[in-house]
Structure 1
């Protein structure tokens, strides 16, 4: 018959303390009300409080929760439900009380009295609970005298008492102290206690085993009978045995027992501290165990701290003892309690007292299965003045744990629930394969994280880092990994992604996952690596490489064939597995061609497919500049259009800019401007001054390609009115015969090489006395006396433009 107790195996431990070797009967006063201890800085959110502290029980008026060193105990089941027991002083005496709680911290009923007899004081209870929720409570019964007994009572998971209380031992003499209990999963249990043989100072340790119905399995067994043994603690092991630890004159010892209660090996020492007291023990599911105690490396009672040591299932020390609180803020730490998870992670609680013993607080610290602290020590009770003490702890398999303590100032009992958070250690994808051609948004698989904090929830995200090359092809929705595109096995057969999982406390783990693309049987298709080619490239230019999807192993034979879509075959040919051009292509002439290609695979299967080949339009430089002259004559105002420019360019849809530039033939650039595609005059031009002009023009296309040309601009001559008449001589002689030439006529005219006709203008002048022949002005009469005669002459050019002027002829 083996003994295992969820309250002992997974937490819910209590311990006792005996100073100076005397039996434990000391009551601690409750009048201390000074400043509380400071909360130490937390390293990691390993232990996270769940809600506020819960009041277990407050004494009614006139009652007192008498707080002795072991006045309360706590144990939990596998679901997280827990029970708290304590002794309570009333006007009728001291009774053992208990109250059950649900896993969420809400009470599962009122507090109830455990003991059925109140003849004497009932005090210092201890409780053990198994995974199903059944529990056993043990306690001391008796007054402050030479006799005290140990009693127990069994309960089912609903809190129903399974019979009345019963005395554990047969002998009713002597003083029995410090009962502890270990409960197995099948309901069997073992109880240990210390017996003080009065009037001697000998204190011996006993154990008695019971089956699941409460029937004793033999008599009580004296297991340790040295001079001064005290503060026994018991815990069951996975193989049905149990481990007993105790204090012997301030040195700690332990003994392992098998399922039949027989010793396994000899006693083993625990720790090396001085004044070691109050051991607490917890066993993990592999049988390894941890012992915590209060002690000092000095030779003094005043400066004690909490130490612990880990052991293998064989009882061999697994490393040296270690100081639980490496940075204590108090001079005295005592009353440790310890609980473990199924994986060996553990929590230790204790009471810390300031240097002047004026106030106390309850502290705790969590460790992983290797004994590495998960965080700094932290205060359990709120930051309130008073005497907070005697913290005991129970833990569930998931890592949730509960600490209870007593408020010595108010006589109240409290519990605080915690979740023991661990960083997730792994990420798992339920499926790492997706068929090719699945639509975007397809679910690859569900993500999950491995975490010692069972029941934790996680946020998953894709993150940057090694192995993130495929992140862009996926998204995470909730815990589902989904695609953001349709995958092609032939293009890429797998993707690498980097995923991070974050738990509720912010702890993370990252992992690189590989998603495989599953090949799906598809109708073979001819592939062409590229379906466009730029114009003007030389013949034999490679358009693209041909291939065949889902082709059997072996060679492929491609050729151009007749049929629908073969209109462009004549401009291309196939060289091996390449489609190449047969001549230069011109996008302006034809921008695309269709070709019909056939492939025969190694098994003789034939596939035919039509492709459209795009001809890329490449910018071609302007080849020349054309000038269309306008009808343009001299004397036109500035801004007159002299002609229109035109770029001769293979790219008919291109755009061009024109400008006058320096260079050969730019001599008359200053006399012209270019507006758009027109050459315009910048001044009024005169044919007689210059009949043709030279300019240099550049035309540039949209890609910056340009050509320059020297242009000659010619202007047309315009007939202009004569501007003056000149007479070489205006004097005639007296008595000269008629017809005598007086002088020759000449004309001023802007037009060179003009022909003119001179005549006398009829009117008031003495024109009748003279005549004009050709360019000569002659007399028409013989003058017999000197005189002056006015005449008016006209000159007319070949186009009928004329000019008149008055002259005076003097006869002498």
Structure 2
């Protein structure tokens, strides 16, 4: 530090009782040293004492006597600096890495400097490395991905890593710097998930938003829109799906479903496609289990087989009875008014 003793310069004079005045005439770069009345050289500017830039100083030191006239003499004084290990400096850095990058992916290289020429560094991460997301090369400062699962844009905040560089001096010294790593978002595809519903052959399914889209997943949390659907199911039911996922499924137009008896059922399906705001799409299938119901007997009548009827002649008209109820119907009475011409 300033004021530290360097050494004492001496002089002699044949004249007894001579008093000498000391000064530094040249070689004192940066005002590194001062010389006292007794020839003592001390440190005057510690910042000028840098072994790496100026390992030694050659000072022209003058001694002036108090005679008449005053006389002086000069000599060279060499001051050699002893090298002392100095701490390195880590350069702050900011990097970005796409989320879910695989293990070993390069993030960036952290840099350090050291006043001591030829210094080598050993690197380590001291804090901020949540879930072991990153690793740093001990001899290189290369930062890489160590745990892809920790790099999730939707849940992660920027990583603030405290990185340490330790030099190979004696004693070893270290410095720390802040390295910020931001996780960049990557568009992740929406996943449409299959649905299952149930109804009977005579009852339409009507479901509001989000309907079939209610269980679909978008990792980025983007809004989902149904962009396509089957207007007719595999078995002929009619289908309508709103953009928000609400839907109507009507089994009544399906001959196969209307033919179901009590205790019978069929699985019908239709598909739809959902798209997120990032323009990724996914399709899923909706399965509807349709049960038969007891519809009883249905009577229908056709026109007279022969519309010309005269007194004393035979005529016929046809009644059709459709049994949509139990497999065997007993005790059934079918009644129908006579045609008007016979009344």
Q: Please give the TM-score of this superposition, normalised by the length of structure 2.
A: 0.60
Q: Deviations over 1:665-724 (max 9, x none)?
A: 676448634351122223433544962567665421122112467877553342211233
Change (3 A) 1:811 1:671: same
Shift of 1:635: 1.9
- How far apart in 2 are the matches of 1:626 and 1:654? 16
- How far apart in 2 are the matches of 1:569 and 1:673? 40
Q: Secondary structure at the match of 2:111?
A: strand
* 8 Å Cα contact 2:232-2:238 kept in structure 1: no
Of 659, 672, 687, which aligns to 2:135? 672
Change (3 A) 1:733 1:760: farther
Q: Deviations over 1:219-262 (max 9, x none)?
A: xxxxxxxxxxxxxxxxxxxxxxxxxxxxxxxxxxxxxxxxxxxx
Comparing both chains, which one has the higher relative contact order based on Cα–Cα distances under 8 Å and sequence gaps of 6 or more? 2
Change (3 A) 1:775 1:658: same
1:568 and 2:29 correspond = yes
Of 30, 36, 47, which aligns to 1:585? 47
State how 1:275-290 maps to structure 2 within 5 Å.
none
Q: Which residue of 2 aligns with 1:753?
A: 221
Shift of 1:609: 4.1
State how 1:49-60 maps to structure 2 within 5 Å.
none
Change (3 A) 1:568 1:712: closer
Q: Deviations over 1:415-450 (max 9, x none)?
A: xxxxxxxxxxxxxxxxxxxxxxxxxxxxxxxxxxxx
Q: Secondary structure at the match of 1:715?
A: strand
1:542 and 2:5 correspond = yes
* 8 Å Cα contact 2:133-2:151 kept in structure 1: no
- How far apart in 1 are the matches of 2:30 and 2:106? 51
* 8 Å Cα contact 1:667-1:694 kept in structure 2: no
Change (3 A) 1:811 1:785: farther
Number of residue pairs matched?
267
State how 1:313-328 maps to structure 2 within 5 Å.
none
- How far apart in 1 are the matches of 2:30 and 2:178? 46
Q: Which residue of 2 aligns with 1:620?
A: 86
Q: Deviations over 1:318-368 (max 9, x none)?
A: xxxxxxxxxxxxxxxxxxxxxxxxxxxxxxxxxxxxxxxxxxxxxxxxxxx
The structure carrying a bigger strand percent of its residues is 1
1:772 and 2:273 correspond = no
- How far apart in 2 are the matches of 1:650 and 1:573? 25
Shift of 1:660: 4.6
- How far apart in 2 are the matches of 1:765 and 1:785? 12
Q: Which residue of 2 aligns with 1:681?
A: 145
The structure carrying a bigger helix percent of its residues is 2
- How far apart in 2 are the matches of 1:616 and 1:802? 70
Shift of 1:632: 0.9
Q: Secondary structure at the match of 2:45?
A: coil
Q: Secondary structure at the match of 2:187?
A: coil
- How far apart in 2 are the matches of 1:809 and 1:744? 12
Change (3 A) 1:642 1:794: same
- How far apart in 2 are the matches of 1:665 and 1:569? 42
- How far apart in 2 are the matches of 1:559 and 1:635? 72
State how 1:387-402 maps to structure 2 within 5 Å.
none
Q: Deviations over 1:580-637 (max 9, x none)?
A: 22222341795255544322357654223455645444222246x4452432122212
State how 1:719-730 maps to structure 2 within 5 Å.
719-727=187-195, 729=197
State how 1:206-217 maps to structure 2 within 5 Å.
none
Of 277, 282, 290, which aligns to 1:803? 282
* 8 Å Cα contact 2:196-2:286 kept in structure 1: no
Q: Which residue of 2 aligns with 1:607?
A: 73
Change (3 A) 1:748 1:639: same
Q: Which residue of 1 aligns with 2:168?
A: 702
- How far apart in 2 are the matches of 1:724 and 1:621? 57
Gaps of 5+ in 1: 1-537
* 8 Å Cα contact 2:133-2:148 kept in structure 1: no
Q: Which residue of 1 aligns with 2:104?
A: 639
Q: Which residue of 2 aligns with 1:783?
A: 253
Q: Which residue of 1 aligns with 2:22?
A: 559
- How far apart in 1 are the matches of 2:65 and 2:279? 95
State how 1:278-677 maps to structure 2 within 5 Å.
538-548=1-11, 551-552=13-14, 554=16, 555=18, 557-560=20-23, 565=26, 568=29, 570-575=31-36, 576-586=38-48, 587=50, 591=54, 593=57, 595-601=59-65, 604-609=70-75, 611=77, 613-622=79-88, 625-647=90-112, 649=114, 651=116, 654-660=119-125, 668-669=131-132, 672-675=135-138, 676-677=140-141
Q: Please give the TM-score of this superposition, normalised by the length of structure 1.
A: 0.28
Q: Secondary structure at the match of 2:271?
A: strand
- How far apart in 2 are the matches of 1:571 and 1:709? 31
